[in-house]
A and B are shown apart, each in its own frame.
Chain A
Amino acid sequence: MAAHTSQSVAKAADVEGPQAPAVRGRSRMTDNRGGARRALATHWYAWAMIAPVVLVLGVIIGWPLVRGVYLSLTDANERNVARTIGANHIEATYRFVGLDNYADVLADPVFLQRLVWTVTWTVLCVSITFALGLALANMLNREFRGRAAYRMALILPWAVPGFVSVFAWRFLFNRDSGILNKLLDGGGISAIPWLDDPTWAKVSVIAVNVWLGVPFMMVALLGGLQSIPGELYEAAEMDGATPWQRFRHITLPGLRTVSMTVILLSTIWTFNMFPVIFLLTRGGPGDSTEILVTQAFREAFVSSPRDFAGSATWGVLILALLMIFALVYRRSLRKQGEVW
């Protein structure tokens, strides 16, 4: 493990050292000018091979992205975009409005409210999911009877389609006839308005999201745990390290690469976790559990005429936020010597 870490540090220093960007930039420029044609001549088959992928990515990701950014700079809605319905052909009459939509969204207090709750929701979900996943992975990373069965049971939430689980949870949470309140009632505790009270609704959506997210965390971390050589633990035990010390100084550093990746992925997923919120509470009660993506959906699909421009604006803002997050995260990792 030590070897592995030092290797990656070395690699990081090699590629991303203080002077690295300058070096990289210069070499690219000089190389490319004369070499491009030669590279094309010698590696034409490689280019030909990746061309379809580039094309497909361009069509399914690039084009909608460009289109979305463009729409966010217009006043397009359902009434003024071009459409053909049977014999009716309606011309597009929307126009370019510059950054007006962004100004409107950012000036609206709703945006800040949604942002604060989205960040809270993401941080809570990811940290609880990670903590639980780590605990479960550690418990499962040892020999005991029926390990396979436990693993199966814990992976189950992952195997069930998301909307099925969310609907199942909705039944459990039902205040009048849900099993959770029946159980509480049996224990003499008065019913909890799970989805009817803003705070409890927040607790509920987080609980469901954690339940859905733990299997992925657990499996990923279990994989990471199994790649940590057992000798390290043996050696540490010989040296008289306590279980906590072993966890702190072997397990955590050993899991670092895996955990950094899963935390990033999980953050992005949770930030944009539409189905859990939408299917469980529809953003309610009121609008208390509405996150940025469900708000974007509301902008586009709930009121009429559908506001394509407004929704695109929300979409671009969400994308921008995630990109900023990813950049900051990457930079902080780079400082710690991690590369991915």
Chain B
Amino acid sequence: MRRGIAATALVATLALAATACGGDTKDNGGDTQSGGELSGTVTWWDTSNDAEKASFQKIAEAFTAKHPKVTVKYVNVPYGDAQNKVKNAFSSGSEAPDVIRADVGWVADFASLGYLDEVPADTVKKVDAEFLPQAAASGKYEGKTYAVPQVIDTLGLFYNKKMLADAGVEPPKTLEEVKTAAAAIKAKTGKAGLYLRGDDSYWFLPLIYGEGGDLVDAKTKTVTVDNPAGVKAFKTARDLVTSGAAITNATDGWTNMQTAFKSGEAAMMINGPWAVADTYAGDQFKDKANLGVAPVPAGSVKAGAPQGGHDLAVYAGSKNRAAAHAFIDYMTSQEVQVQSAKELSLLPTRTAAYEQPDVKSSEMVQFFKPAVDKAVERAWIPENGSLFEPLKVEYTKAITGAATPEDAAKATGVEFRKILKGWK
């Protein structure tokens, strides 16, 4: 506490000193919106993957063409470590970025901790009027808007058209069909049917939605992962692996999945639009037409994929907030969204972008748009991102046979209730 007082005193002194000797520092902060030109540096932490980052860096740096006095500092932070890095930077304040690309599941968390700057009122109006409503919902916390949606996504079943044709099977619509298709593929080509990612719990979501379940029910404040539908989902995951329909790994899942699918070791995988650019780089997809996408296979109840995506948000402690917000406006503008849809097959969050010829001509976007419209919206609660880690532990245990599906579901429920204090 004493340290708190000392720190406050220090900050106060510094603030006094800064305002006393540098009038123009303040101008960069809040007042510029009314008139003056934006200047300074905007540091952006981007979490896009290896196949996407070059394109985003180019787009981001082009901001300078509109605002010559603003320098954009582009930093790519690998998605896996980003949540922790962002938190470290935000809580210590040193070397913190001005703008972050946040997974939709992180926004409420960061906002609840006081890390995010509210989006200016005129941008909020635009977000509410011109963006897909389910995307806009992810940037809000307790009625206020903290982030602007950049891209939206969901999961689909990627398949190798040629391999499926060789095995004489149609793209499967249910997990039962996946098993029959996998057996046929194995018999004809000796390759695996499905690669099911086993080291990331996001890939568990279609399985639990498929059984009519969900992780939690935010309306009634109930943990639902350990109910019968949840248990069934863990069983299904295990069954896909033991039956030989799917191959999996408990580590390096992303790399192994992409390698297996791109090289034709596996004929199908479940993945999102962010994987398209990387997949096209694979041997099997030199002819882009060989890549097919279908809705995620249904479980015993229905087919369901989670709504994902990324939002852009400004750090509350940023020294250059006006420029940072202007940068976000630019990054979520129609032309930038159309460009990333065209180059990377990423889905725009602006309703009108889907009318653009470049977007309309992208087969992937055309596939994923209806899928996104039907995607299961997750509970936008601060704990959202925290649920994935304990779920991952148990999902991996279940899929590798280290725990029974029943125990895995039960243990996940126990951990969830530790995180969500007071929930049923």
Contact = CB atoms under 8 A, between A and B. Distances in A.
Interface of A: 78-79, 82-92, 170, 174-177, 193, 195-198, 201, 281-288, 298, 301-306
Nearest to B395: A286
Given A85-B114, A88-B114, A305-B113, A288 B316 contact: no
Given A82-B1, A302-B389, 16 more contacts: A78-B91, A83-B91, A85-B316, A170-B251, A176-B249, A195-B250, A195-B252, A197-B250, A197-B402, A284-B251, A285-B199, A285-B397, A286-B396, A298-B389, A303-B383, A303-B419
A174 B8 CA distance: 49
A198 B316 contact: no
B356 to A, nearest CB: 37
Contact of B400 (A79, A88, A197, A303): A197
Contacts of A281: 251
Given A92-B4, A284-B251, A177 B256 contact: yes
Interface residues of B, number: 45
Interface string B18-62: 000000000000000000000000000000000000000000000
Contacts of B84: 301-302
B282 interface: no
Contacts of B394: 286
A174 B393 contact: no
3 interchain residue pairs of minimum CB distance: A286-B397, A285-B250, A86-B317
B403 A286 contact: yes
Given A170-B251, A281-B251, A286-B394, A304 B382 contact: yes
Interface of B: 1, 4, 7-8, 11, 84, 87, 90-91, 93, 109, 112-115, 117, 198-199, 249-252, 256, 259-260, 265, 315-318, 321, 382-383, 385-386, 389-390, 393-394, 396-397, 400, 402-403, 419
Contacts of B317: 84-86
Nearest to A290: B393
B262 to A, nearest CB: 12
Given A176-B260, A284-B199, A303-B419, A85 B93 contact: yes
A284 B393 contact: yes
A284 B396 contact: yes
Given A86-B117, A92-B1, A306-B87, A195 B251 contact: yes
A82 B4 contact: yes
Nearest to B195: A176
B318 A86 contact: yes
Contacts of B93: 84-85
B113 A78 contact: yes
Contacts of A88: 114, 316
A283 B394 CA distance: 12
Nearest to B400: A285
Nearest to B4: A82
Q: Which of A79, A298, A302 has the most CB of B within 10 A?
A: A302
Contacts of A302: 84, 386, 389
Contact of B259 (A82, A177, A286): A177
A65 to B, nearest CB: 15
A85 B393 contact: no
A286 B7 contact: no
Nearest to A178: B252
Nearest to B390: A303
Contacts of B385: 304
A82 B318 CA distance: 18
Contacts of A78: 87, 91, 113
Contacts of A177: 256, 259
Contacts of A195: 249-252
A10 to B, nearest CB: 50
Contacts of A288: 397, 402
A69 to B, nearest CB: 15
A170 B252 contact: yes
